[in-house]
Each structure stands twice: as C-alpha cells, then as structure tokens.
Structure 1
C-alpha cells in the first residue's frame, strides 16, 4: 500500500470556499489512483484554509504526471464556486510537488494540473505528456485567433466581447468595482456642477481649476501653476508623459530656417546656434509624421493640426528651454517662426499647438500602439505558442477545454480537461489583464463615440498616425539603451526617465538572462525549441506585419537574442507603459498644458492674439471635462494593484527560479530606495519609474 499526502489550499478571496464534493485522481507512469473524495471530519475547503488529505494506492504510481481535480454537487445546496489556490503532493518516495491553480472552479468542472519543473518539447519523454502537450497547443490555437483591427496596424485577438475571454484573463471583481466606482463618482461630480456635456466656453483660465473638488495631486497642482513657463515646458519633453520624442540636433532641417539672429538672445552670452549644436546642447521636436493627415471636422468645419517643429536648448542652468517654434512643416509667410520674445500669447499659442500634436502622438502612438497593442500581440502569440510547462511562459494563462481521447493503456481519464495558470516564469504576470483591457479600451477610446473622437485628428486621423508610425517602427526604438543612444540623449541633464529607465532595463535584463540561460544553456537549445520559434514568428508576422526593414527578429538564433527580446517585452508592458500612462492626470487634466483638441486655427501672423484667443482655442467646458475624466481613470491606482517583481501567488516550484526572483526583487527594492532618496532633493520629484509604482502588467 502506498500513500500520497495532499495539502489543498482554498484562496482567501471573499466567498472562496465551497461545500461541494472535491475529488482527486492521480496519474503516474505506473498507473492511476482511484477517484478519491477529499473529506475530513468537519468543514472542508473553507476560505483561506489549507486541508490535508490522503490518497491511497495499491502500489506506487511511479513518476507523477497529472493530477485531476473534480467538483461535484453536495446534496441539494445551491452552486458556490470554489477558488482553488494550489495543491502540494508528497509522494511515498518523499518527493514534494507543487501544483498551482489560482482560479475559480464551478460545479461539474474538472481541472488537470501538471507540476514539476519547466520542460521544453524536446525534453518530453512520456507518450501521455507528449500527446497532452500537442492537444493543448491545438486547442489554444483554436481559441486564441487573430483578426485585423485595421489595415497597417498590429493584429488583435478575435474575441468580440469581454465575456468571451477566459475568466483567468479578465479583470477581477474588485478591479471592475473600483473602476466603475471611480467612473460613477466622476460623473456625479461633473453633473452636479453642470459641466458634463456643456458647450459653454471657459470664461477664464482660473475656472478650469474648478473641474474636480477632490482629485488633486501635487503634480497636477504644480502643472496648473507653472504651465506657461518655458523651463517647465522643456522639462516635460524629458520627464512628462511622452519622453520619447526629442532628439539631439546637430544640423537644422532645411525646412526649419532658424537663423543665428533669431535665437541669439536666448543662448548663453558669447555663444551661437552653431556652437550650441557642436556642444550637443540643441534638441529638436519634429512631428513630420503627422504632416498631411486630414483633421477631424468640428461643427461642420475641419479642425487644424500642426505637424510642427520646436527647437530647444540646454542653457547654462541645465534647463531645457524652447527657443523657436514653427507650426507647420513648410516655411512660409503664413507659417512664421515663433520666438520667446514675441507677444506673450503668440508664443503661448505656438507652444499650445505643439503640445496638441504631442498629446495626440502620445495617446495614439506611444501609449496605445507601442504599449497596449504590442502587449496584446506578445500575449496572443505566447498563448498560441507556449504550452503549460514551457520555461519561457510555463503557463497557458487561461481556461481551455479539450476532449481527450487517449488509449486505455495510458491509464488516463476520458473527459474534459481544463488548463489555467500554473507555474509562471517570465511572461504571464505581464499579460494578465491585457486582453480584457484592450477589448473595452478599443471601444471606449477608438469607437464611434470614443474619447479620442474628441481630438483634432479624430479617430480616422489617429489611426493613420499609428499606421505611419508602425511602418517606420524599429526594434531598436523599443530597446531603451539603443533608443537613448540613437536620439543622442546620453548626457542631457535632469533626464530622470532615462536614468531610472536604463537602470530598470538592466535589472530586468539581468533577471531574464539568468532564467533564460538556466533553461537554454546553448544556442542549439534555442534552435531546437519549435515553440519558442513559433512565438517570435507570430509576433513578427502579426505585430510588425513581416516588415524586415524594422529589424525585428523573425526567428531566434542565439540565447542572447532571446534575452534581449524578452527583456524588451517585459520592459514595454511594465516600465514603458507606466512612464507614458501614470502621469496623464498630472500633466493632461489641466487642458491649457496639453489638450487633444484645439478648436481655433493656429496663429499665422504675430501680434493678433490675446488671452481671449487662447480660451477660444481650448476645448469647451464639456470637452475639457470629458478628457480630464479620461486621464483620471487611466492614471488611477486600483485595489488589486501588483507592483513589478511581485508574485503574490505561489506558482514557483523550482529552487533556481525562486532564487532568481528574490535577487530580482532585491535589486528593485534597492533602486526604489535610491529613487526615493534622489526625489527628496528635487523640486519636481520623478516618481513614475520607482519600481514600487510600476504595475506588473498593463491594467489601465
């Protein structure tokens, strides 16, 4: 007689326990156990409680392969789902094997778990597991399919509604409740004040401060007080919500005829434009990719989009200052170059129009496409390519149902098999809510009545902007060290996004390198892993549309390539998303500092504007509050927030990855302390890339 000791843990979520019958069957290389009821004296499977049970067999089952768990009705009690956290099995031989689950199990459902170490396809040595792996991938490919969102844009998943997405990838009830509460609270406040839907024009800049009573941050208050200042305007190109756009200027574009005489008053005494370029002190914002995109209509008339240029200089005080602005690409008498010495509202309007273009570029390209949509590509490709036990993913991450017809000789059940999150190594924590969020987000942002319809380009224009960006996107632009070098920003002062981002890139890369090299000791191991090759092939095909000129890999040849690409994926879905998302309320809830929509045309001559012109140019009351509410919802922190590097669920069974995770967490903690210390000495603390403030996946 052999005895298997089982410890089964029920989650500590509300109503996680169950009164239903729970049965377990063990499958090993030498046979299977009887279907055994898990039953002790008293109440079993109570919220947050572990329970110890025994499964007896006539002899050892050999190496354990699978564990089947079934939930059946008890008496006539009503249905209550069970949140099954994990099972730990101690075999007669003394092996202790973790089987994580962490999902809700309904009545009549049955789950099959694989435990043990991660395993590549070429390492599978049992016919049952080989067949199990093959069927799993077939079913995942049938469930997760691709479809086109629009021509020239990354492909998306094929689910039409959030309800179709497997439960393990949907938002938690607490996250949904928090989001709905915030949305209702915002709506009530705006309705009470009579602001929601109002077509009135703002009567003064000060009135805009009255939008929200209670939603104020230190940074949003600072923005409202300093938005007109040139040094703060320049600061935002480095540490605002769109820090990836300026580049060093060593030679002026031919279509931007700035002269020495124009800018000499704004440079260091005794210096010149040429000298400042030679010293590496000149920087350029150029929105040429927006040029020629038709704008949206507003009250039956086309709006105005300025695909402009802004020249910036690092002054002797190490402040980045705008010194010349041209609002359209082609110079002309009606497209003058605006200077800080121009009438105050002329210069202010020029900055506002540049910021309008930057806001649209930020929201559609750098936020939506380069983080949300790419994350979806990475996730769907991984879901289709990696089985439950793969070392890079080691999780199917979703509920799949397959009908398994295996031979009687294999001693395995016939029936429904469900797969769900198991031991996760690298990717799944960073994809957890991507499909749910993007499904709703595409409708609420890019749908016919989406928030982004209130932009100067409108939905069609923003889609074209994303299309243009993807056609020019390079692999190196998503890899921060290469991005910074290519833009010549290695030494520009007070660039905290760069400083913190590069440290985070290195920490993530070190963690990824340790894990990848643990499972792939040589390049030949990479070559032989067909599932890994399928993943990168699908990403290349469906994310970057097979564009070889982009530099994105279509296949992996070396361990180093796997490390770099996986680092980029994790960085994009955590650090980069936080950098372009978390500060949106801080910087963009105050419409004068940056608005997606401007109603009036840009100035074409100097000396004709006033503060009344500025107010007429800004969106009206209803449009302003709608966009402000949108930034609130995107920047909020919700109840089930999980910071980078945190793994609250025990999904790791192997000692080496556990050690790697602890080292990863220790490095993140040290960086967090260093950033906190630095910020304590700054007038404007840069907190967005503090690891404690970075969410482990894209959730807003």
Structure 2
C-alpha cells in the first residue's frame, strides 16, 4: 500500500505519441492493484516525452512482477497507436522497478510488460510470469507465421501479398528510415533518368564513357576502383578484401576438370619456381563457380542473357600479391573451352576476368549476401519472436540484431528478386534463376562455414597476408564472443541450466527446422547441451546479422559502380576461342540502361538510410541489471579500440577497407 511513482516514456519516432487514454495496472507477488488511468495532458505522451505520475494503492503489492498497460480510445476517436519505451516504478519503500518494452501498442486490450531482470523459467517461477510469457508467445506466434518462399530454401515470414505495410507495427521501418530510404532510391534513379541513361538500350561505345554514369554518385573507393580495375593484383585482392571474401580457398591439387598445366603458367610464375612447387608450398588458391552450372538465365528486353561457371587459379607471388594465373570459363574442359592466361592478348585476358567478375556478382549477391545474411537473419528473428518472451535474457541480447530485418526482407522478395523486380530487369539470374541458385547454395551452408574462425581454417586462409576481412573480422568476432560469454555465464551458471531451459531449446529447434530444414549434414545444432555450445551459436548469430552483413553489403557501390568490375549480366555467350577485341567486350557487357539500373540498385543497397544503430549501440535499455550493463560498456570499449586501429591503418592505404570498422557496422540486417 502507499504511493507509487511512475515514469512512462514514449518513443522518439514522429508518430510514436498518442492521444488515446492510457491505463496501467501494477502486478506484484501479493496480487494486482487497481486500474489507473494516466492523467491527460497535451505533453504527457508526445514523442520523446517522459511523463511522471503518482498512484495510490490500497494494499501492499510486494515485489513487482509486471505492469499491465492498456490503450483505449479517447471519446469516439479511432485508436491512436502508441510506442511505449518503458515504465519505471518507484515503490513506497524506495525500491525501483524497471519495465522495458520498446514496442508499439496498436490494439485494444491489455499488454503485460515483465520486470526488466532477465528471467529463466524454473520450478520457482511465479505463476503470473508464466501466464504472461505463455500469452505473449501465443500472440507472437499468431502474428508471425512461417511460409515457404521456395523449395529447399529457408522459410520466411508469412505476409499478405509480400506487402511490408502488412507486417506487425513492431517489425516495420520508422518514418525516418522509410523516408530516408525513399529519398535514396528516388534521387539516384531520378539523376540517371534525367541524364537519359535509363532509357538508352544501346551498347556502350567505349569503356571510358561509363564514367559519365558512375560519376553521378561517387565514393572514395569507387573512384579508385575505376582506375585500377584492369590490374591483376587488384582482381586478386578482391577475393581477400572485396565484398565476396569467403569463396576463395587454398589449392593443393589442380581439379581434374581444370585444363591448366605447368607450361601454361610458367611465364606467370617465372624461372625460379614451378606450379607443383607452389602448390606444395601453399601459394596457389582457387575460386570455383561450379554452383552456377545449369542455373536458368534471364531474358532482358527480349534478349537472352548469358552466364558462365568459371574456375580461376590464383598465385600468391613473392610480393605477397594474389594474382590470377589461369581462367577457364566452363566446368567442362575440351577443345572449345580454352584456358585464358595473362600471357594472352590484353583483350582475351580482360574478357576472361570480366566473365569471372560477372560470376562472382551472382554468387556474392545470392549466396554470400542474400542467403547467408538476409535469409538467415530473418529465420533467427522470427524464431526469437515466436519462442523467446521479452523477459528472457536471450531475447534482450538478440533483439537489437533483428531491427528492421523483416521489413527489408519482405521488400526484397517483392521489389528486388520478385517477378518484374530489379533482378528481372537487370541481372542474368533474374526471378527464375534466384530460387534455383539459392537451393544449390543451401547445400553448402554448414555450421563451420557460418563461424568465421572455422571458415578461415577450412579454406586454408589462416596465413595468407593482406587478408583484411579475416584480420578485422576475427577482432570483431572475438569481441562479440567475449560479450556473449559474459552474458551467458551470468544467467546460466551451469550446463544443466542450458539443457533445462525449455524456451531456449524450442528456439534452436525451430531455427534448425525452419531455417536449416533439418539438414543434419549441416552440423547445425537442434539443441544445446552446454554453455560453450550456446556461446558459439549466439556469437555466430550476432556476427552474421551485423559484421558479416556489413562485409558483404557495404562495399557494393565501391566495387560494382564501375560496371566492368561487376557486370550484372552478359549479353553474349562465353567465348569458345581466343581472339577477342574491344568491340567483342563492349557487345558482351550490359547495355547503358541495364548498367544504370544496376548502379542505382547497388547505391541504394550500400547506403544505409537514416535511423541507424551501430554495432554495440544498445539504445533501448533492455538489460536492467548492473552487471549486464557493465558487460555492454566493456563490449563498446573493445569495439572502439578495434575501430581506432582500422581507421589508423586505412589512412595509410591507397584503397581502404572500412567495411568491418565497428563504427560503420550496423547492428542488424536493415538494408
């Protein structure tokens, strides 16, 4: 009994406030209090406001467990949705209770918010909390249902007509992000249209004229790429520090279907060594695009498009440069499958490298980017909402890393890879090839390939110099792992607690079923038996949704805006003989309008709209205990140290690698 002092915070989004009536009920271990209407004042529930109220209770509620919040119509107005950040309650004895929420309330009826301490279900859990968690998850499962996007592909959110506006309000973009994204799309497309590029279906008359388009939007790195894109050392470096840095692997034996021999590469290797020696010394690497075999190709503007499935052999030379030394554009050797070499004519060698870059574009966008970050992040997000209530410590840990993921993925399935979407208009795989390629790519999704340290080791990439994706990525991975370890060991003091957490086990089981399609060969866990296994898995989830997405997304405009370095499609079939000319190259490259559409697309995807949250920025205070809050501060300090080192290094580089700088990494897949 006595006076309870409340602080009620409204979100910062322009539409977060409400003119509806707000009611609150306090619930403690001794029962629940009366239903109190919050006094009305024009400033109480404005965006970014914190309203203070006093309420009297006639009985002692004891330790507070939850608050029950209701939004009801004012007069005969329609319900005005409200974004509630938190409710804080100071009891008569001075004890402070915090109830973090950070969600929209869009419907009539009560919403129960548990007290902010992370709680695992045990035999002693209060019945009020058990009921709250059960009701919350039942509602979430009703609002977040699974559906099949394509055969053999991770399942996704079931949204009517793939319309992002039909998503639950808590999964949608803020107004700021919505308007910012719209501006990015319209401004870039309008410039290209105004200059006439989007309406010109002719071939480029020469490579230099592509500068007229790429100069409409320029980044520091994109300008450098347009100058050095023909250099073999730059071509090779993109496998280490480009936007598809997980494909390359060490080669100890030339594949039987790759018709390269000692004599072919002798001039590249020089007189002091030979191919066999370099293979044994671990200096030979391979990029194999076998996955692109038999992928259906698109028709753009009634013209058939073409795709190759090349193999590229690379050598780490004595200057520690990774350079290509042989390219075969088909997986089937033979008379009409030449091996292209640096010693060939400059046009033959350039065309062969362009075909490899086109293949790399497809594998990067569909496998490394779409499948391994966007689609997996969506699975992690849906399973978390469906299986972990807001009072669970892992909900608090993970939710910042799913911010806006469902919205961007619903948009992507319709506007990017859907029927008549941007891929249909400008990419060789198109709407028909994407699901086929995704299904093939799923066979390569293994637990080890998703865990950075294991991926590096399995590809033999531990010691190659100048592999900045590895060096920066491992620092970020280690920081995430340390943070996750601290959080898990705080809440789970034994392996038994992990094994006996029913919500946790249901969460990982659902991910295995809906995301990894119960594929046991993937070695993804379907249950957890120890804190160590849980820490590894959570590190993978957070890294995938933040750093890994940044690595394969943020540099798209830098690397692809100069179209010949990443053609979205090819208009001529792969050459079956040598003898290329510049006219042959120009005829094979995308036309002017397709180039313009591709450029505007990668600009939009590379530029995160406003309303960003950088890695480790947990603006929403979900953890209310002092110890987890201290862990967050330590995590932020480590990330700041990593950021400082990367920025100092990049100052000395002609072509910087900023993509894994924590100050540039977004917490979640949100673009």
TM-score interval, smaller chain: over 0.9
Q: Does 1:84 align with 2:84?
A: yes
Instruction: Kindly indicate whether residue 487 of structure 2 is the aligned counterpart of residue 485 of structure 1.
Output: no
Q: Would you say the 8 A contact 1:154–1:373 is kept in 2?
A: yes
Give the structure 2 partner of residue 178 of structure 1: 180
TM-superposed deviation, 1:291: 1.9
For the 8 Å contact 1:186–1:629, the answer to whether it is kept is yes
The 5-angstrom pairing of residues 490-639 of structure 1 reads: 490-607=462-579, 609-639=580-610
Q: 1:548 to 1:79 in 2, by over 3 A?
A: closer
Mapped contact 1:587–1:594 kept (Cα < 8 A): yes
1:45-60, aligned counterparts within 5 Å?
45-60=45-60
Is 1:696–2:667 an aligned residue pair? yes
Relative distance call for 1:261 and 1:586 in structure 2 (3 A) is same
Is the 2:112–2:132 contact (alpha carbons within 8 Å) kept by the matching residues of 1? no
Shift of residue 238, structure 1, vs aligned partner: 0.7
1:323 pairs with 322, 325, 332, which one?
325
Work out whether residues 189 and 212 of structure 1, in 8 Å CA contact, stay in contact via their aligned partners in 2: no
- Mapped to 1, the partners of 2:15 and 2:508 lie a distance apart of 40
Give the whole-Å Cα distance in 2 for the aligned partners of 1:676 and 1:558.
Answer: 38
The CA distance in 2 between the partners of 1:164 and 1:331, in whole Å, is 51
The one of 169, 172, 182 equivalent to 2:171 is 169
Question: What is the Cα deviation at residue 380 of structure 1?
Answer: 1.2
- Cα offset, 1:16, TM superposition: 4.4
Match of 2:217 in 1: 215
Q: Find the counterpart in structure 2 of residue 354 from structure 1.
A: 356
Which deviates the most, 19-28 or 664-673? 19-28
What CA RMSD, in Å, does the superposition of the two structures yield over aligned residues? 2.0
- The equivalent of 1:679 in structure 2 is 650
Aligned-partner Cα distance in 2 for 1:44–1:694: 35
Partner of 1:22: 22
Offset at residue 237 of structure 1 (A)? 0.8
Q: In the superposition, relative to structure 1, how do residues 652 and 298 fare at CA in structure 2: closer, same or farther (>3 Å)?
A: closer
- Once the two structures are superposed, what CA deviation does each residue of 1:155-191 show, in whole Å capped at 9, x if it has no partner? 1111122222111111111111011111111222122
User: How many residues were matched structurally?
Assistant: 668
Shift of 1:15: 5.5
Which shows bigger deviation, 510-519 or 460-469?
Answer: 460-469
Secondary structure of the 1:85 match is: strand
User: Residues 104, 465 of structure 1: CA spacing in aligned structure 2 closer, same or farther, 3 A cutoff?
Assistant: closer
Which SS does the other structure have where 1:615 is aligned?
Answer: helix
- Give how far 1:645 is off: 0.4
The whole-number CA distance in structure 1 between the counterparts of 2:552 and 2:589 is 23
Give SS of 1:9's match.
Answer: strand
1:386 corresponds to which of 385, 388, 394: 388
Deviation per CA, 1:492-511: give whole Å up to 9, x if none: 11110000001111110111
State the distance in 1 between where 2:493 and 2:571 align: 59
Look up the match of 1:94.
Answer: 94
Structure 1 residue 49 displacement after superposition: 3.4
DSSP 3-state at the match of 1:112: strand
Q: In the alignment, which of 432, 442, 451 is matched to residue 470 of structure 1?
A: 442
Q: CA offset at residue 129 of structure 1?
A: 2.1
Q: Secondary structure at the match of 2:197?
A: coil
Q: Deviations over 1:442-480 (max 9, x none)?
A: 111221112222322333223212111212321101101
How far apart are the structure 2 equivalents of 1:122 and 1:369?
37
Indicate conservation of the 8 Å contact 1:19/1:74, yes or no.
yes
Contact 2:545 2:669 in 1 (8 A): yes
- CA 1:142–1:676 in 2, change beyond 3 Å: closer, same or farther? same
Q: Deviations over 1:531-558 (max 9, x none)?
A: 1111111111111111111111121111
Report the alpha carbon displacement of residue 47 of structure 1 after superposing the two structures with TM: 4.1
After TM superposition, give the deviation of residue 10 of structure 1 in Å. 3.1
- How big is each residue's C-alpha offset from its partner over 1:45-90, in whole Å with a ceiling of 9 and x where there is no partner? 3443323221111231112122122344556788755443222111
Deviates more, 1:359-368 or 1:103-112: 103-112
The counterpart of 2:423, out of the listed 452, 469, 474, is 452
Question: How far apart are the structure 2 equivalents of 1:202 and 1:260?
Answer: 38
What whole-Å deviation, never above 9, does each CA across 1:411-453 have from its counterpart, x for those lacking one?
xxxxxxxxxxxxx2x1101112111111110111221112222
1:268–1:315 Cα contact (<8 Å) kept: no
Deviations 1:211-259 (A, max 9, x none): 1554100111111111111111011111111001111111111111322
Q: Aligned pair in 2 of structure 1 residues 10, 691: CA closer, same or farther (>3 Å)?
A: same
* 1:64 corresponds to: 64
Cα 1:40–1:605 shift into 2, 3 Å: closer
Three-state SS of the structure 1 residue aligned to 2:51 is strand
Residue 199 of structure 1 is matched in structure 2 by: 201
Q: Match of 1:364?
A: 366
Q: Does 1:142 align with 2:142?
A: yes
How far did 1:638 drift? 1.5
Deviates more, 1:213-222 or 1:114-123: 114-123
Ranges in structure 2 where 5+ consecutive residues have no aligned partner: none
Q: In 2, distance between residues paired with 1:138 and 1:109? A: 15
Label 1:46 to 1:535 Cα distance change in 2 as closer, same or farther (>3 A). Answer: closer
Alignment TM-score, normalising by the size of structure 2: 0.96
Shift in CA distance, 662/121, structure 1 to aligned 2, threshold 3 Å: same
Contact between 2:15 and 2:47, CA under 8 Å: does it hold in 1? yes
* Residues 40 and 53, structure 1, Cα contact 8 Å, conserved in 2: no
Q: 1:197·1:623 contact (CA, 8 Å) conserved in 2?
A: no
Q: TM-score, normalised by structure 1?
A: 0.92
What whole-Å deviation, never above 9, does each CA across 1:115-141 have from its counterpart, x for those lacking one?
Answer: 131112225532222222223222322
For residues 319 and 256 of structure 1, the distance between their equivalents in structure 2, rounded to whole angstroms, comes to: 23
User: Out of 615, 620, 641, which is 1:670 matched to?
Assistant: 641
CA distance in 2, matches of 1:72, 1:134: 24
Q: 1:361 to 1:47 in 2, by over 3 A?
A: closer
- Say if 1:525 and 1:613 are closer, same or farther in 2 by CA, change over 3 A: same
Select the residue among 300, 307, 310 that pairs with 1:308.
310
- 1:672–1:692: 8 Å Cα contact kept in structure 2? yes
Equivalent residue for 2:616, pick from 627, 637, 645: 645
After TM superposition, the structure 1 stretch with the greater mean CA deviation from structure 2, 446-455 or 662-671, is: 446-455
Q: Which moved more, 1:305-314 or 1:450-459?
A: 450-459
Aligned to 1:37: 37
